[in-house]
Copies of this chain bind each other. A is one copy, B any other.
Amino acid sequence: MKIAFIGAGNVAWHLAQALAAAGHQVVAVCSRQAESSQALAQVLPETKSVASLTELASMAQDVILVAVPDAAIAAVAGQLQVQPGTLVAHTSGSQPLAILESISGARTGVFYPLQTFSKAKAIDLKEVPLLVEGQDEQTVQALVQLAQSISNQVQQVTSQTRKQLHLAAVFACNFTNHLLGISRELLQEASLPWPLLQPLIHETIAKALQHPPFEVQTGPAIRHDDNVLAEHLRMLDAHPGYQELYRQLTQSIQATKR
């Protein structure tokens, strides 16, 4: 297929390269940051970095993937004018299909990779769930086919289900990463190396994927080890924000029904 990208951030960076590697033709990339779209176009075999949505829409293409921040999708949809029948899909976990319906003449869909992307880190998309949705069966089929060319984990889900999945992913990914960041900062303050915690972190994750995490909870909170909890809060005196998080997470662990 001939594909154009609006947006050249982390998601576009990985999707565009995977699609090109799968034999599709990524014809154009357009980003508000010209540097980003030029950088992405440079690593692709036959891609033009274009400066405007008008220029992008004037080129021949089958699919336009809108991989911009969630808050910018509506504005893109409001501006975009496409050739009749062009398939336009966004890549957001949280935004409904309906956010694209103002694009006249387009067939609209969603093409959401359930993964966290950074430009610095290569990812094999084959095992990444790709969740698609379309305004009609024909659109769904086209997106499923496109998705299957880069992933073995393609599923059709509704906007509502995708939104719930995205919320769960925020806890499992974004919030977890933040806790790991706090942990690393606390280690640094004690002049201890971050890799020291690596076996513990790997085992925590392995266990949580094998057993329901609530059933294998360990630590002072679940044991109601009040002396330890009080001492930890005292040790966090210099970090009132982390102290509050510690308190809330401890309460939440203790309130959880197993």
What is A's interface to B at a CB cutoff of 8 Å?
10, 69-71, 94, 114-118, 120-121, 123, 127-129, 153, 161, 163-165, 167-187, 189-192, 194-214, 216-223, 225-228, 231-232, 235-236, 241-242, 244-246, 248-249, 251-253, 255-256
Contact = CB atoms under 8 A, between A and B. Distances in A.
Contact of A248 (B114, B192, B227, B244): B244
Given A164-B187, A164-B192, 19 more contacts: A70-B223, A116-B207, A116-B219, A118-B207, A121-B206, A153-B199, A164-B186, A164-B190, A167-B232, A171-B179, A174-B221, A176-B180, A177-B213, A177-B218, A178-B213, A178-B249, A180-B205, A181-B213, A198-B209
Contacts of A10: 218
B214 A181 contact: yes
B164 A177 contact: no
A184 B200 contact: no
Given A116-B203, A181-B208, A196 B248 contact: no
B94 A228 contact: yes
A113 to B, nearest CB: 10
A63 to B, nearest CB: 24
Contacts of A184: 168, 212-214
11 contacts: A69-B223, A114-B196, A114-B200, A116-B200, A116-B203, A116-B204, A121-B211, A168-B192, A169-B183, A176-B201, A176-B205
Copies of this chain in its oligomeric complex: 2
A197 B181 contact: no
Contacts of A207: 116, 118, 121, 177
A183 to B, nearest CB: 4
A244 B255 CA distance: 13
A171 B199 contact: no
A234 to B, nearest CB: 10
Contacts of A213: 177-178, 180-181, 184
A22 B19 CA distance: 52
Nearest to A11: B218
Nearest to A165: B192
A189 B208 CA distance: 18
Contacts of A70: 220, 223, 225, 227-228
